[in-house]
Amino acid sequence: MSSLAIDDLSLSPFKNFAIFFSNHSFNLIVGTSGSGKTRLLKALAGLLKTQEKVRYNRTYIEKISFSKLQGKIGLVFPELLSSLSSFTVEDSLKNSLESFSYEKKEQEEKIKNMLSFINITGKRKKYIKDLSAFEQLKILFAVELIKEPEVLLLDEPLKKIVSKEEKKSFLKLLEHCYQKGLTIIMTSSSLEDTMLSSFTQLYILDHGNLILKGEPLEVLKKDSILNKLGLKIPFMVDLCVKLEYYKMVDEIILEEEKLIDKIWN
């Protein structure tokens, strides 16, 4: 079990805010700058003083010991990179395992497996500051994942990743973890990210308000609301929603060829 819930939170920018993330779910929260995404993740991680408003598996986080909470909820916050940049890849993973009493051999095995999982095997001795933005993100992720948390919170992990292939590759890692049972909550300022993986739930946040939530394609169909918020709807979804309006299609088709056949056949 690894569900997270917030009830009646009133802490800027939130007012009487409530949200629920079910056990074993793959969630994406999208909002523009200032919508409260980072603050929401911080509240969920127990980094803010919330006074019995956040529950982890039905228990208020204040009632869970700090070290236990740290072990259960992993944080991938890009701002943590600066604290890691002067470490080598190997040292950062070793530090992460410090609080666990693993035998040297077992520790080495874990590091080896993790580096192979994130595909950074040849750069063990490299300083994190010398890695590419994509590799740095994978290390930040590995440092948390190696502690085997039950929930992983990721604050705009793809923000600095320009290549679509790299974005997809990172999301593939997350999807793999989700399929293994991890609950994942990730934020983004772009709806395009929705199309790059199989998120189970999409949440739209604006100025501390939860505007929309649900199965991703259903949420993306609400084009007028999303446009008002300044969010760009992914091309194929936008095209299908508009074609639906003119009764040229009756569903969202994400593959170009299929859509073309549907329109002109």
Partner 1 sequence: MEIRFSHVTLTPIEDTSFVIPKESLTAITGAGKEEALRFMAEAFPTKGNIYYNGEKKLKRNLKKYKKEIKYVGVDFEKEFSFENVYEYYIYYLRYHHIKVKDPSESIYNVLKIVGLEEKVLNDNLSNLSSSVLKRFQLSLALLEDSQILLLEEPFLSFHEKEIKEIFSILETLKEKFHKTIVIATEDHNLIYQYFNYLVWLKDKMVLSGSPEELYYQVEGKDKPEIVHFIQMVEEKKGIKLDHRKDIRDLIKDIYRSV
> Applying CB under 8 A, which residues contact partner 1?
32-34, 159-160, 162-163, 189-190, 229-232, 235-236, 238-239, 242-243, 246, 248, 256-257, 260-261, 263-264
Residue 233 CB, nearest approach to partner 1 (Å): 9
Any alpha helices (H) in 157-215, and if so which ranges? 164-179
H helix or E strand, kind and range, residue 260: helix 256-264
List, as one string, the DSSP characters of 1-56. Answer: ---EEEEEEEETTEEEEEEEE-SS-EEEEEE-TTSSHHHHHHHHTT-S--SS-EEE
H helix or E strand, kind and range, residue 219: helix 216-220
Residue 220 CB, nearest approach to partner 1 (Å): 14
Show the CA angle centred on residue 160, arms to residues 209 and 46, nearest 5°: 45
Taking the C-alpha atoms of residue 109 and residue 113, their distance in angstroms, rounded to an integer, is 6
Residue 133 CB, nearest approach to partner 1 (Å): 8
Residue 71 CB, nearest approach to partner 1 (Å): 29
CB of 181 or CB of 230, closer to partner 1: 230
CB of 1 or CB of 162, closer to partner 1: 162
Sheet holding 183-188, edge to edge: 73-76, 151-154, 183-188, 26-31, 201-206, 209-214
Residue 16 CB, nearest approach to partner 1 (Å): 23
Residue 100 CB, nearest approach to partner 1 (Å): 33
> Could you give the 3-state DSSP secondary structure of residue 127?
strand
CB of 153 or CB of 182, closer to partner 1: 153
CB of 27 or CB of 188, closer to partner 1: 188
CB of 33 or CB of 67, closer to partner 1: 33
CB of 66 or CB of 235, closer to partner 1: 235
